[in-house]
Amino acid sequence: MARNRFEQVDEIQPDAVTLVLRRESDGETGSIAFPATASGGRLSTDRVSAQLPAQDAYRGAIRLANDMKVAIVVCDPDAVWKPEWGDLYRPID
């Protein structure tokens, strides 16, 4: 079975669910950003989740992206990403 691949970005994207991962003093956390512009008119304001444990944020982002039928991207400036979640890649310009 093919591994999941996720595009790595440097900032929240206007057309996708963005999983933002961070390394904090109390551990690895994540939040989920869902811009209204990615909702196809279903939302009038941007939504950002509270900080969650990184794995919970990863699972929540996958669920949201699948439910809303939009792409998911990952912002991971602190290198929190776990290889078992799939592969991160950067597109070649």
Q: Which of 38, 31, 32 is nearest to 14 (CA)?
A: 38
What range does the domain containing 40 cover?
5-89
| Each residue's pLDDT tens digit, 11-69 | 999 999 999 999 998 899 999 999 999 988 888 899 999 999 999 999 999 999 999 99
Residue 85: DSSP 8-state = G
Q: What's the structural domain count of the chain?
A: 1
Record the pTM: 0.92
User: According to DSSP H, which parts of the chain are helical?
Assistant: 54-68
Alpha-carbon gap, residue 88 to 46, rounded angstroms: 25
